[in-house]
Amino acid sequence: MADIYIRGGWFITVDKNRRIIRDGAIAIEGNRIVAVGKREKLDREYKEYSDIVIDASRKIVMPGLIDLHVHMAQAMIRGMAQYVKLIPWLKDYVWPLQGNYTKEDGKTSALLCMVEMLKSGTTTFLEAGLSGRYGMEGIAEALEQIGMRGVLGRHVMDTPGYALEKSIIHSGLIETKEYGMKEVLHMYQKWHGKHGRIFVWFAPRTPGAVTIETYREIVAKAKELKIGITMHLAEAKEDLGYFKKEFRMRPVEFCNYIGMLGSNVVLIHVVWVTDEEIKLLAKTGTHVAHNPSCNMKLGSGLTPVAKMLREGVNVGLGCDGGPSNDNYDMVEEMKIAALGQALINGDPKAITAEQVIEMATINGAKALGLDREIGSIEVGKKADIIIIDYWKPHLIPMLNPVTHLVYAAQGQDVETVIIDGKIVMENRKILTVSEEKILEKAEKRGHEVVERTGIKPIIHWPVE
């Protein structure tokens, strides 16, 4: 007897032994997985006696994907910052656009982003930069309603710069330290741990926007509350000059100096690092969120993931944001991660498809401190599961579910999504919110934000 029984198909468990079960089955009771095994065996106990039986023959069943780096407020400005490197990308496009958001825009963008993530198999995410302007309360409510698992990282800042002196954050996004800290604490008290699905972290802005004293205060407070910290680091080469000039340090050395390395820290990008810095990340158990689409699109360079994994750094995968990717499809991101490492290492086996799947599942769970609960299909873990339909021309013949998933599959192949034991998407229909209403709202509000800012989309051909 189970609440949900899924039978047939290829089960990629990512469990301790990394078992792949052909013609497998799993049973779910409440929000937990209670049985995993061969269909033949589990059928006897569950087939006739479960409330919901899902036929997964011709499907791949796997743990839900974990997007380790997301900006939900950027979904609604997708396509609005093209052909520029990081600093003008921020200064001339993303900051002015986001600096013109209202709280309702922030919530709408978050809903749009979450619908997109769900429809491409993401069940858990780490948001890396909410500010008061986006209305964090409304975003937490939207997360509660849609039924995903999410960690909401909130910005803290106390000076208005970014790296190079001339890059001043848009006035619409500048906040005081007191306001940022107060909201993190308020959100923590109200939402952290709610339903075991919603969590609140610190997401300090990068050096130039945060003083050393404030970084140290954040580190101490995070330790006291037992919560995580996520921060962008060494994304663009220009960052190196800034760290050298201001602090006479390399970026990871700087993090060490302010006490911000450790198992509760997820550093984002970490492209421009030396072998010594990689060793320091491994030694301190600091996690890295790799975002290959963003790194490639902005011409930033590419994180040395193969080397990091070899050295024992825990690396997860992220889609980053609407104007830097420009989508939130983790299935696509897995392919780009694999291709990128083969290219920069000049070696097609620099990173395996199995390692990429680990990055998108169990490594992400570990980075969030949730690997005892999610990230794999194992008895006792929470039921965050996706079912992928492979009866499609681009996935047949199903000779290798592992490499097919990384190199051939698409986010749109995800058919059903279960989070915390609840079916949130069934046969591509989201059951918790109205997708149509969210699309209509985001289409309208997205155009309004762009009009308010006066920034035009770049299209090189004449539009009549």
* Between 15 and 320, CB nearer to Zn ion: 320
Q: Are 75 and 109 in contact (CB under 8 A)?
A: yes
Q: How far is the CB of 368 from Zn ion (least distance, A)?
A: 16
Q: Select the residue whose beta carbon is closest to Zn ion and give its number.
A: 320
Q: How far is the CB of 69 from Zn ion (least distance, A)?
A: 6
* Burial per residue of 147-170, b for 16 or more beta-carbon CB atoms within 10 angstroms, e otherwise: bbbbbbbbbbbbbbbbbbeebbbb
* Between 59 and 91, CB nearer to Zn ion: 91
Write out the binding residues for Zn ion, residues 357-376 only, by CB under 5 A: none
Site string for Zn ion, 415-454 (x = CB under 5 A): ----------------------------------------
Distance of CA 291 to the CA centre of its chain: 9
* Between 68 and 281, CB nearer to Zn ion: 68
Can you list the alpha helix ranges (DSSP code H) found in 318-361?
Answer: 330-345, 353-360
Q: How far is the CB of 316 from Zn ion (least distance, A)?
A: 13
Within 8 A by CB and 6+ apart from 387, the residues are 6, 9, 54, 56, 59, 60, 61, 414, 415, 416, 417, 418
Q: Are 173 and 95 in contact (CB under 8 A)?
A: yes
Tokens of 217: 């205060």
Query: Which one, of 290, 330, 358, lies nearest residue 12 by Cα?
Result: 358
Return the residue matching tokens 């990091």: 308
Burial class (CB in 10 A: 0-12, 13-18, 19+), 130: buried
Q: How far is the CB of 335 from Zn ion (least distance, A)?
A: 20
* Between 27 and 169, CB nearer to Zn ion: 169
Write out the binding residues for Zn ion, residues 192-251 only, by CB under 5 A: none
Total of chain residues touching Zn ion, rule CB under 5 A: 1
Q: How far apart are the first and last CA of the chain?
A: 61
* Between 105 and 320, CB nearer to Zn ion: 320
Q: How far is the CB of 145 from Zn ion (least distance, A)?
A: 25
Q: How far is the CB of 248 from Zn ion (least distance, A)?
A: 26
* Between 320 and 384, CB nearer to Zn ion: 320
Q: How far is the CB of 70 from Zn ion (least distance, A)?
A: 8
CA dist., res. 39 & res. 47, Å (int): 9
Site string for Zn ion, 288-327 (x = CB under 5 A): --------------------------------x-------
CA dist., res. 318 & res. 341, Å (int): 15
Amino acid at the residue 155: H
Q: Are 266 and 153 in contact (CB under 8 A)?
A: no
Tokens of 13: 């468990």
* Between 299 and 380, CB nearer to Zn ion: 299
Amino acid at the residue 293: S
Q: How is residue 417 annotated by DSSP?
A: E
CA dist., res. 109 & res. 95, Å (int): 15
* Between 300 and 416, CB nearer to Zn ion: 300
* Between 3 and 320, CB nearer to Zn ion: 320
Q: How far is the CB of 71 from Zn ion (least distance, A)?
A: 6
Q: How far is the CB of 268 from Zn ion (least distance, A)?
A: 6
Return the residue matching tokens 């004449």: 462
Within 8 A by CB and 6+ apart from 177, the residues are 156, 157, 158, 214
Q: How far is the CB of 125 from Zn ion (least distance, A)?
A: 12
* Between 359 and 430, CB nearer to Zn ion: 359
Tokens of 165: 């002196």
Distance of CA 354 to the CA centre of its chain: 19
Return residues touching Zn ion (CB under 5 A): 320
